[in-house]
Structure 1
Amino acid sequence: MTTVNDQNSESGLSTLYPCRPVAEIDALQEALSTLGTVRSFQQNDEIHAVQQHEKFLYLFTEGRFTAVRANDGLVLSSVRGKIIYGIAECLRPRGGWYLKVEEACKARVIPAEHAFELFTRQQLWESVSVLLAWFLQMYSLRDEHLVGVPAYVMIRSKLLELNLQPADIRRDMNAADFIQERTQLARSTIMAILGELRRGDYIEIKRGKLIGIKHLPKEY
């Protein structure tokens, strides 16, 4: 889901994924800051942009979230910090995914029609297009890591992604769970490859948590 100066770089994720357009997100959030109402959300809340034919945008200034595919629970991506959720779904509703809240936070919730009227009035659709282009880049690159490639390549990319997460997230995240949620590979396959990487001294894992990566070969 998918954000340029950059909160991605704080966690090192810009080395794997394109930097999110922070300047454009800031401009959109500032323009929308007087619309809608502020709501509180709790851990594990699921947020759907389209609800019973009503459409809403969600402006978060902080928090941690995962984008989840609705039909099977596959984790599409993780994001932390400032985000705007709902533009694409409200423009072309299909209910394909939702946002899961990972820590308590607040958001400004705005009817999509009011937001879109403001984008037109203040000529902000260029900023919107930059944001949507970033989402497209994110998911295209994710597919390069996961579609039509061997299981090892999937696991390697997710180990690199996990290793670049902030320390507090890595400390609480089981490495095999992180990989399985984002690839849906069989757990036996994941554990077998992680075991061989540990024995080969390529990675360090303790109590299921990734401590560090020494070197990951591109091929298994």
Structure 2
Amino acid sequence: MKKPFPPKDLNETSQSGVELIERITPLLTFKEYPKGSKLLHGYGEEAKSYVITEGMFSIYRDADDLMLVSMKGPALTGFSTFAFNNNATFIKTITPCKIAVLAQGEAEKIIDQHNLWKLLALHRGETLRKLFYFHTSLITPTAYEAIRIQLLLLMNEPEEYRLSIPVESYIRQKTLMSRSGIMKILSQLRQGDYINVENGKLISVNKLPDRY
């Protein structure tokens, strides 16, 4: 039987990741970051890892500001790139967030000293599984299919976030498609009663056609 897309846990931290956060949180110093804060993962010796216990944030690709995923704390970022010299992404807070910032070497040292490599390996495995679904959402033959997937992903977001961001803006940040192209398809989907949009926000998605 074909599994539904997107998976319901796509924006959630893995259970192993949550356990890892619980184990290392007492060792860290946290700071409150306001909405709209931008934190780079960085390169080489300046590479950073982040532990987010409260709040919601998005991860973006540094080269073109493509939004990869949005998540809520508790969450980890930058822990899946140990042994690499670059992590060309950054996080941007959607709401105020409570975050601990670690130099990547410091994060590795904590993992090593407290024998947490197994938990980290399990978390990385889950991260790779979710990256597969993310790349699947980008590899689409038509603009409509890309928008269709993003509508389903937006419905999978927490309601408070979904109702705070214009659906067109969400799709544009996730696909880098033109505003006019997105609006044309959204308008036709609304006319066909496939989606319900109020004040630019996505309220509900009915059964979307497979093809446009």
Q: Which amino acid aligns with 2:125?
A: A
Indicate the percent of aligned positions where both proteins have the same amino acid: 27
What's the CA shift string for 1:125-164, capped at 9, x where partnerless? 1211121222222221111122142111110111111122
What's the CA shift string for 1:162-211, capped at 9, x where partnerless? 12222222221111111111011122211111111111111111221112
CA 1:204–1:105: 2 relative to 1, 3 Å: same
**Contact 2:47–2:87 (Cα < 8 Å) also in 1:** no
Q: Which amino acid aligns with 1:132?
A: R
TM-score normalized with structure 2 length: 0.87
Query: Which residue is 1:7 aligned to?
Result: none
**Contact 1:175–1:210 (Cα < 8 Å) also in 2:** yes
CA 1:148–1:209: 2 relative to 1, 3 Å: closer
Query: Which residue is 1:15 aligned to?
Result: 8
The whole-number CA distance in structure 2 between the counterparts of 1:159 and 1:62 is 26
Query: Which residue is 2:115 aligned to?
Result: 123
What's the CA shift string for 1:5-35, capped at 9, x where partnerless? xxxxxxxx6437386412x123322332233
Query: Which residue is 2:3 aligned to?
Result: none
Structure 2: state its 5+ residue gaps: 1-5
CA 1:178–1:19: 2 relative to 1, 3 Å: closer
The yes-or-no answer on 1:143 pairing with 2:135 is: yes
What's the CA shift string for 1:51-86, capped at 9, x where partnerless? 783343221111101001101111011111211122
Aligned partner of residue 87 in structure 1, secondary structure: coil
Structure 1: state its 5+ residue gaps: 1-12
Q: 2:98 aligns with which of 99, 106, 117?
A: 106
Q: Deviation above 6 Å: which 4+ runs of structure 1?
A: none
Q: Which amino acid aligns with 1:114?
A: E
TM-score normalized with structure 1 length: 0.84
The whole-number CA distance in structure 2 between the counterparts of 1:155 and 1:97 is 23
The whole-number CA distance in structure 2 between the counterparts of 1:157 and 1:16 is 16
